[in-house]
């Protein structure tokens, strides 16, 4: 199965369910403007409840690298996802492997993506004033999933009903789902999670190391 990151987790129950269903990674958001934001203390509890069974990812937006590294050490995170306007230099200052989010707009140019020396690039929908969690997909036909020099994670508006189409169109190395499996912001819906993983059972993993 293609590697799956379930993002925007705020509690241990949802995180453990995601792992039981087959998640390769879980994501916790440390961006105060997000309705899914958690504190380091909350994230610690989630990580402790997983007992190292899955890769843990912290999502940050335009935070100084020193601040990101402090949270990584406090919580015990495996990876960091930088979802703001961070530069390649910002990514290089993180102590664990980095996933860099690229926000795909109509006029998106993949030319600068190669400057990021990161574990993977996450493709998400662009919406003015937002850094993710829009619940909307970008135009998958508008970009070439093979144009990037790093492994690609598909995100943005994914759910059980459209995720296979997104995978078929862009051939990503992994997928990232947040709002598409929620009952409410920050609270996952068990039925939506189960439907998602059922839909993905026929997919195959790539050779790329993402999570």
Q: Model-level pTM?
A: 0.95
Provide the H-helix boundaries in the chain: 12-21, 40-50, 65-75, 88-92, 163-170, 190-200
List, for residues 164-197, the tens digit of each pLDDT value: 999 999 999 999 999 999 999 999 999 999 999 9
Show me where the domains of the chain are located.
4-200
CB–CB of 46/11 below 8 Å?
yes
Query: Which active-site residues does the annotation give?
Result: 7, 124
User: Where does 4-200 sit in CATH, by number?
Assistant: 3.20.20.70
Give the residue-averaged pLDDT of 63-89: 97
Task: Give mean pLDDT, residues 81-98.
Answer: 97
Pick the closest to residue 43 from 8, 19, 69 (CA basis).
8
* SS3 of residue 154 by DSSP: strand
């Amino acid at each position: 199965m293609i590697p799956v990151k379930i993002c925007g987790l705020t509690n241990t129950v949802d995180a453990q369910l995601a792992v039981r269903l087959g998640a390769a990674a879980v994501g916790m958001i440390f961006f105060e403007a997000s309705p899914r934001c958690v504190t380091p203390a909350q994230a610690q509890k989630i990580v402790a409840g997983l007992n190292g069974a899955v890769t843990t990812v912290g999502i940050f937006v335009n935070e100084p690298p020193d601040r990101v590294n402090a949270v990584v050490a406090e919580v015990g995170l495996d990876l960091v996802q930088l979802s703001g306007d961070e530069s390649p230099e910002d990514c290089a200052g993180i102590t664990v492997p980095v996933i860099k989010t690229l926000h795909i707009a109509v006029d998106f140019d993949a030319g600068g993506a190669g400057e990021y020396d990161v574990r993977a690039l996450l493709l998400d929908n662009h919406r003015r004033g937002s850094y993710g969690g829009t619940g909307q997909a970008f135009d998958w036909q508008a970009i070439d999933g093979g144009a990037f020099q790093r492994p690609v994670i598909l995100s943005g508006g994914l759910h059980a009903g459209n995720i296979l189409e997104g995978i078929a169109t862009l051939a990503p190395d992994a997928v990232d789902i947040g709002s598409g499996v929620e009952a409410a912001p920050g609270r996952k819906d068990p039925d939506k999670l189960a439907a998602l993983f059922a839909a993905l059972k026929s997919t195959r993993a790539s050779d790329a190391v993402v999570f």
